[in-house]
Amino acid sequence: MFSWLKIFFVFSFLALSILLPSSLWAGNDGYAEKIINSQCKSCHRFEGKPKSKFEIKAPDLMWGGVKYQRPWLIRRLLGQEENLYPNGYRWDKLRLSLKHMILTIEEAKVVADYMEKKMLDSRVKKSPIDMSTFTKMEAELGAELFKEYSCLGCHQIKGEEGKLIGGPISTTLFDAGNRYTLDWLSRFTENPQDFTPHSGEYLADISMRKARHLIGYVMTLGVKDFKFYEPWTSKEFKNTDIESGAKVYKEYCMQCHGKKGGGAGPGAKGLEPKPVVHKELSLNDYPDDYLYNLIFYGGKSVGKSTNMPDWGMTLSKQSIADVIAYLRSN
């Protein structure tokens, strides 16, 4: 009788462990730790101070809970994402991009949950960049900065027709907008050495505004149908004041464009091409986005002379809306 009972218990325990997902009986955190300890720690670090890549085997994951967008992390753990380092992470040892290990969906979710809970980094704060006000022109300027600051020299993106362009020494960035959190990327860009010191990384000499363009651009990479903000559809443009616009015009535009847009302001002498005679342009036919970009980002942003300044740092959105309304009213 006793031994029958014993067999029954052993049997029901076995049945239970097969039926119930293992996460339930080990506790999710415990289960995640088990996976990480047995399957990840041989290559990745989950704690400790940043180190040179030449002293580690794989990218550090101690900030993994704030670095990745969850859907990307899960896809990566399921083996659905391509490798990030075309030359292999440790290109000094083995210039080969080896296949990464794969988890089951249940394991991937438990590990992602665990990372979101425990792999945090108090240096990563809310980004000052608001992507809901990011414009297409900013992304275009960001794309130029990406080249100007040599990012393309070390990170691949997709060029025309989806072809990979750029140097392959570090991580690819063509899907960066689906991969990074904005907060992590912003903090990383502030000083890459805080995360990947002595690894060949690069710190750009960049203003806040340019950093916004560059980071915002990287956050659009790979994102299908990214919804760009269109300032000319905002409430400031629906409530314009022509008189205020005339004042802005006097303070900032008349010096070159002359009284009432008649051209030949005192500042026009020596400028070639000449500041246009606004009166002669049918500015009502000019598209809103063109005029906004011209005034906010300057002549060069729309292929005009760099002598037409960019007013985005000087004038508020309302002032730009008003001066456009004023120009169009003449």
Residues that bind ligand HEC (CB under 6 A): 35, 39-40, 42-44, 53, 58-59, 64, 73, 76-77, 83-85, 89, 97, 100-101, 103, 111, 149-151, 153-155, 169-171, 185, 188, 192, 196, 199-202, 204, 214, 218, 252-253, 255-257, 267, 271, 273, 275-276, 294-295, 299, 304-305, 307-309, 311, 323
Q: Output the six-digit token pair for 10.
A: 């052993």
Residue 140: name the closest of 293, 253, 276 by CA. Answer: 293
Answer for the pair 218, 142: CB distance below 8 angstroms, yes or no.
yes
Cα 126 from Cα 276, distance rounded (Å): 43
Whole-angstrom distance, CA of residue 119 vs CA of residue 19: 30
Of 3 and 282, CB closest to ligand HEC:
282
Cα distance between residue 115 and residue 103, in whole Å: 15
- Least distance CB 165 / ligand HEC (angstroms): 14
Q: Which is nearer to ligand HEC, 10 or 280 (CB)?
A: 280
Q: CA-CA distances (angstroms) from residue 36 to 44, 114, 118?
A: 9, 10, 12
Cβ at position 195, least distance to ligand HEC in Å: 7
Total residues belonging to the chain:
330
Distance of CA 5 to the CA centre of its chain: 61
CA–CA dist 74, 108 (Å, integer): 6
- Which is nearer to ligand HEC, 134 or 188 (by Cβ)? 188
Supply the minimum distance, in Å, between the C-beta of residue 5 and ligand HEC: 40
Q: How far is the CB of 315 from ligand HEC (least distance, A)?
A: 6
In the complex with ligand HEC, which residue's Cβ is closer, 6 or 93? Answer: 93
Closest approach of ligand HEC to the CB of residue 47, in Å: 14
Q: Specify the residue, 19 or 73, whose C-beta has the smaller distance to ligand HEC.
A: 73
